[in-house]
Amino acid sequence: MNILQITSSLRGAESESTRVAASIVAKLVAANPGALVSTRDLARDPHPVLDEAALGALFTPADSRTPEQAARVALDDALIAQVQAADVVVIGAPMYNFGIPVQLKSWFDAIARAGVTFRYTETGPEGLLKNKKVFVATARGGIYPVEADPQVPFVRMLLNFLGMTDHTFVYSAAQAMGPEASANGRAEADATVAALA
């Protein structure tokens, strides 16, 4: 089993989403001896944002790219190859201003490539990153009921679009609501991880 852990929190060792994601990875490894774990820390090693130069490189035929364009596309290629090789993807996704960190959005931008990780068909888009299990560990300062959660539907849509339709979200809520509420949020996340099959 190949496990890819994506970290996107800016809080380093104090990150709750990273802590929960790491506990998911630890459980997977314990249940699958010999599993290989690859990590990508998008906060410590941020991927370049999608800008005009990157877009130009991506839309230039490979044999016509300048060395700079080829190098920029190669950065995205590396992320795509990493997720293609993974059987399980574990994403740490803290909630920043009701969304995901820009570093994680840049990762999604990099791995979403027409003809490679998705394609357009006569019946609509088809995700090509299939047969992968995804766990998303999300930490947030408040408590958001499912019907009013602004972050998870966006992440779920991105995953589904790319073909990663088997996903489980683990919530560590109330992290900015005081020590007791924060502890309860962590305990609930830990109980969810413990119950994962």
- Residue 95, annotated as binding a ligand: yes
- Residue 2, annotated as binding a ligand: no
- Residue 96, annotated as binding a ligand: yes
Neighbours of 113 (CB within 10 A): 18
CB 100 within 8 A of CB 154: yes
Calpha distance 181→159 (Å, rounded): 30
- Residue 38, annotated as binding a ligand: no
- Residue 97, annotated as binding a ligand: yes
Q: Which residue has the tokens 């990875």?
A: 25
Calpha distance 8→38 (Å, rounded): 15
CB 93 within 8 A of CB 155: yes
- Residue 17, annotated as binding a ligand: yes
Calpha distance 130→167 (Å, rounded): 12
- Residue 16, annotated as binding a ligand: yes
Q: How many residues does the chain have?
A: 197
- Residue 154, annotated as binding a ligand: no
Indicate the annotated binding residues for FMN. Answer: 9, 15-17, 95-98
Instruction: Give binding residues as ranges.
Output: 9, 15-17, 95-98
